[in-house]
Amino acid sequence: MIMRNVVLIALCAISLAVSGQVVTLDSCRNMALRNNKEIQQATLAIDKAGYQRKEAAAAYLPQFDLTAGYIYNSRKVSLIKEDQLLPTKSFNLQTGTYDFNLVIDPRTGAPLQLENGQYVPSTVALLPKSGMTYNIHNLMGGALTVTQPIYMGGKITAMNQITDLAQQLAREMRESKVEDVIYNVDAAYWQVVSLCAKQKLARSYVGLVQKLDDDVKVMVNEGVATLANQLAVDVKLNEANVDMTKVDNGVTLSRMLLAQLCGLPVNTMMTLADENRDDLGLTLAPTNFDLNQVYAKRHDVRSLELATKIYDQQVKVARSEMMPKLAAVAALHATNPNSYNGFENRFGAAFSVGATLRVPLWHWGGLSNKVKAAQVDANVKRLELDDAKEKIALQISQAAFSYQEAYKTYEATKANLAQADENLRIAGIAFKEGMGTVDEVLGAQTAWLKANSEKIDAEINVQLTYEFLAKVMGSMNY
């Protein structure tokens, strides 16, 4: 909650600061790039890809693991169920071997043999059950293991390539987001400039009609004009005032949209650096292009190329499942009771060194089909790349034609505006000299308004079509 309040206070402070100064197009772009949530998400995606790349690089290094455990057993464990009597042997000097100590039957002089065929030992060794019973109430153990991959079928190398390409892909996707945001901000910026120009035009038109209305009223009072003439001018004046209100509302809404794109409160009323310019000084930019250079600049094409490389590496990852895997293993392990020294109740430790080898033999075609599926995905991505390049070539041609057409329209509107200015001047002079009618003046004023409006629209359209052409050619300057 506190963090949210801090953010709101910061936004309000920024809004007040922005409201009090003239904002350029670059300032709007920078604010949008700083505050856009999609760009922030794309930046975090780059960070995530960087962590995944480091994770993949760690697979080259030995892995250390510590395992520990504890078990409580309710009973002791005994290796024998009762005391055991073990026969003994004595050394025989005559044979040089050890012979069992057996009871000799005095009647026969041979070892005494029972009915079941067993001989009777003359001496025995007592193995008590208590000596073979161990306290395992508290059983503890642990191991420190080290595993070093030696050969994993190329999987580790492929995964490192994938994560490196994925980080580059995340950067390209962020740049695509940046271009989209900048294009949207530019469109909103020039929309405000266009509406501000139309706002000035509407006020000038209202002033023209208002002056004509005043002149007609004087002429009606002097009897040189009719009431119908005054009513016609009044209707035009009312229409002009309604149109001016619509333009005022449009300017307010367009400013709110621009503020929202810049990450500011929507009620921030920014003064734009270009909104008071009478002419943007447009010149026709070159529209020739080299497709190979365009492909090299377009972030979406580079993203598809990186994605294709990632899918190629995925094929190697799938193929690694069919390859042998070799790793070296070392471990230091300890147990309590000590299993290395009579299960005494103390820790006993030892170490071991070895290697593991896993060789896939037969999986009923499962692994090979997995490789084939990965190859299909890679081929699909290549087709997507080729299709995108074909569409981009058409898109650039259309954008270039649209820009050239917009500029020709702009040149035509400038000529039309000069003619409309002259017609309005002549109509005004003729009306003052009594040679023209009110309808002629109103017609000239309407034509003047239309010519100015068309010139403004054409000028902004040139700017926007040029921005779009630069965008599709991958040559936006920001």
- The helix (run of H) or strand (run of E) holding residue 214 is helix 155-222
Is residue 18 pLDDT above 80, yes or no?
no
173-198: average pLDDT:
95
- In this structure, which amino acid lies at residue 419? Q
CA distance 189 to 259: 10
CA angle centred on 349, ends 344 and 351, rounded to 5°: 150
Phi and psi, residue 68, nearest 5° = -140, 150
- In this structure, which amino acid lies at residue 113? Q
Q: Give the tens place of pLDDT for each residue, 286-341.
A: 888 889 999 999 999 999 999 999 999 999 999 999 999 999 999 998 988 887 77
The long-range contacts involving 380-387, CB below 8 angstroms and separated by at least 24 positions, are 381/304, 381/307, 381/308, 381/311, 382/308, 384/304, 385/301, 385/304, 385/305, 385/308
- The tokens of 453 are what? 């409006």
- Reported pTM: 0.80
- Find where tokens 């991959």 sit: 149
CA distance 272 to 27: 10
CA distance 259 to 273: 15
- The helix (run of H) or strand (run of E) holding residue 204 is helix 155-222
Q: Give the tens place of pLDDT for each residue, 361-380.
A: 999 999 999 999 999 999 99
Contact by Cβ (8 Å): 182, 32: yes
Q: Give the tens place of pLDDT for each residue, 382-397.
A: 999 999 999 999 999 9
Going from the C-alpha of 196 to that of each of 182, 202, 255, 287, the distances in angstroms are 21, 10, 10, 29
181-185: average pLDDT:
95
- In this structure, which amino acid lies at residue 6? V
25-38: average pLDDT:
94
The DSSP secondary-structure symbol of 144 reads E
